[in-house]
Chain A
Amino acid sequence: MSLSADLRKYLPLLFWLPAGALILINAVNLSLSLVRAETLKKVIPFYFQGLKFAGLEDVFARVESVGYYTDRDLKKDEAQFTQAQYILAPVILDLNYANQDYILFDCTSEAIADRKIKEVGAIALRKNQFGVILARKIP
C-alpha cells in the first residue's frame, strides 16, 4: 500500500474530529443560551405590540378595510403597525386613512388624536385600554 493510500485512510478523521468538537461546543452554547432565554422570559413576559389593537374586532365584522393614523415615525414603529395588521386581519389596515370610513388613531397623546379626529371630520366611537381610538367619519 502506498503512503498516499495510507494517509487517505485517515483523511475522514480531519472532518469527523472537528465535527465532533463543534457539536459538543455548539450543544453547550445552545443549552446555555436557551437557559438564559428561559430565565429572561420569567422576568420579562412575552409581549406582542399588536395586542394593543385587540378587542375592536366586533366593530369590523362587516368592514374590509380600516384607516390607520399615527403621529409616530412609522419607519421606527413598523413592527407595531405590522403586528396590528396581523391582529386585525382579515381587515386591511390602510395608511391612506382619508379614504376610509373607519379610522384607528394611535397617537402619542389623546390631545393629538382628538385634534386629528376633528380635522378629518370623524367622531370617536371607542377607545381601548391602550389609548387606541376608533373613529368613524361623519357622512
Chain B
Amino acid sequence: MIIAVYLLCGLTGFCFIGLLDRRERSVDPLLHLFLSPGIGLGLFAHLSFLALVVKDRFVPALVVGLSVPLAVGLLTAWGWSWRTARRPACAIERLERKDLWLAPVLSLIAWPAWIQAALYPLGGWDAWSSWNLKAKFIFLGQEHWKNLFDPALWRSSPHYPLLLPMMNAWGWSFTGKVASGIPMITAFVFTIATAGLLYASIRTLTQRITGLAAVLLIWTVPLFLLLSTSQYSDIVLAYFLLGGFCCLLNGVRKNSTALMALAGLCGGFLSFTKTEGLAAAVLLALLGLWHTHHHRVSFPDKINLLKWFLGGLVLGGVPMAIFHLVYTPPNITFINGFNSATDPTSWYRLKISLMFFFAELVSSKWNWGMMLLLWGLALNARRAFQKGLLIFPVFFLAYLAILFGYYLTNTYFEIVWWLQVTLHRVLFALLPTAALWVWLSFEPRGKSS
C-alpha cells in the first residue's frame, strides 16, 4: 500500500510536468523523472493543506477523494496529449545509453540510505519532536489540530511551516493510521530523488555525466546520509532549492516557460518547508528576476518567462501565504537581542557564529567533502564567479548573511549550543546546490552560462 502511495505521487508529478511541457518538450527526461516525486508530493501536500483549511480539520477520506481523481485526471490528460501530438509526452529520445550509469550509482546509494533509514524508523530528534509530531496533530487532532501551535509545544517550533508534516499526513490518509513507514519512505524518496536531481541538473546543463561523481561524493558522506534519512525537513529544502536553481538556469537558457514555471513552483514549495526555506525562496525569486532580466532575449520573451516563473511561485506559495496570514503563532523562542536589556546581543555572537561556520567547512565530519568543493571553487574561481553562474555566490552570501543576522539577533538560545545543533543542517541543505555550482564551474566559459 505504502509503495502504491508513492507511485501515485511520482505518477502525478510526472503527468503534471508532462502536461506543462507538452508544447516545448524542454524538460530533459531525467530531470522530468527526478522532479516528479517532489512535485507530486508537493502538490498533494498543498491539496491536503487547502482541504484542512476549508474543513478546519483533516478528513482523510476527503484527501483521498481529492487526490485520486486529480491523479487520474492528470494521467488521462497526459495520455490524451500524447495521443493527439502523436509523440511521447516526455522527451525520452534525449536519453542516452551513458545515462544508464545512473541506475547502478543510485542503487549503490539506495542500499546504505535504506539501512540508515531503517536504523531509526522513527527518525532523528527533530523528526519526533517536531516534524512528525506536527503531522500527528494534523492527522489525529480532528477539530483541535491547531493545538500544534500551543506555546506548551515550544520544543517543536510551532511557528515552523508545514510542508513535510502535510506530506506525511497525506500518506497516512491512505494507510488510515499513523504508520511509521510513511515518514521513513518520504525521507528515503527525497534522498534518492535529490541524488537523481543533482545528476540530472549537471547532465542537462553540461551534457556530461560527471554528475555521477558529484552524487557519489556527497552521498558517501555518512553525516549527509544520516541527515537526509532522519525524516527532517532539511532534505526537502535541499531538494526544492536544487530543483529551483536547476529549472531556473535551464528555463532561461532554453527560453522555456515550462521550466520557468517549475522553477517558480519549486520556490513556492521551498517557502513552506522551513523558516529559512522562506528566506531561500525570497532570494530565489529575486535572483530569478535578475537572472532572467540579464538574459539575451527579446523583451516580450523576458516578460513571458517571468510571467510563468511568478505564476509557479504564486501557485506554490499559496499555502505559505495562508499559513502566515491565518495560523502562524508568534515565535516564542525569539528575543530581539538589539532591544533586550536582559539578553542583549553582542559581537561575541557574530564572532562565534563565523568561527563555527569556518570550522564546519573544514570539519572532518563532512569527510573532507566540503573541503573538496571549496578546492574546486578555488581552482575555477574565475568561472565560478562569471556572469552566468553569479546567482550561486550571490544566493549563498545573501542566505548566509540572513542566517548569521538571525543568529546575532535572536538571543533566546545560548549561541554555542544553538550553532552546534543547527549549523551543520543549514550547510547540509545547501550542499547539493553548492555541488551543482562547483560542477558547472568546470565547464568552459560561456557553456555553463
A residues lining the B interface (CB < 8 Å)? 11-12, 14-16, 18-20, 22-23, 25-27, 29-31, 33-34, 37-38, 41, 46, 48, 50, 64-65, 79, 82-83, 85-86, 89-90, 92-96
Contact = CB atoms under 8 A, between A and B. Distances in A.
Contacts of B116: 34, 37
B132 A86 contact: yes
User: Secondary structure at chain A's binding surface: helix, strand, loop or mixed?
Assistant: helix
B216 A29 contact: no
B367 interface: yes
A86 to B, nearest CB: 4
Contact of B122 (A11, A27, A48): A48
Contacts of A94: 152
Interface of B: 108, 112, 115-116, 119-122, 125, 128-129, 132-133, 136-137, 140-142, 144-145, 147-148, 150, 152-153, 155, 213, 216-217, 220-222, 225, 367-369, 372, 375-376, 379, 442
A65 B142 CA distance: 14
A82 B155 contact: yes
B115 A90 contact: no
A18 B133 contact: no
A18 B225 contact: no
Given A79-B125, A90-B147, A92-B153, A12 B379 contact: yes
Contacts of B372: 15, 18-19, 22
A34 B115 contact: yes
A88 B221 CA distance: 35
B369 A82 contact: no
A40 B379 CA distance: 42
Contact of A26 (B132, B145, B367): B367
A90 B108 CA distance: 39
B129 A31 contact: no
A64 B147 contact: yes
A122 B121 CA distance: 37
A99 to B, nearest CB: 10
Contact of B213 (A23, A46, A93): A23
Given A30-B225, A92-B153, A22 B217 contact: yes
A90 B57 CA distance: 13
Given A22-B369, A86-B128, A89-B133, 6 more contacts: A26-B217, A27-B216, A37-B119, A65-B152, A79-B125, A85-B129
A51 B150 CA distance: 23
B145 A90 contact: yes
30 contacts: A11-B379, A16-B213, A22-B217, A23-B213, A23-B217, A25-B367, A26-B217, A26-B369, A27-B108, A27-B216, A29-B220, A29-B367, A30-B222, A31-B112, A33-B222, A34-B112, A38-B115, A46-B121, A64-B144, A65-B147, A79-B125, A82-B129, A86-B136, A89-B133, A89-B137, A90-B136, A90-B141, A90-B148, A92-B152, A94-B152
A110 B142 CA distance: 35
Contacts of A86: 122, 128-129, 132-133, 136
Nearest to A27: B220
Q: Report the 7 A-B pairs with minimum CB-CB distance, sorted nearest first.
A: A26-B220, A90-B141, A89-B136, A86-B128, A82-B129, A90-B137, A23-B216
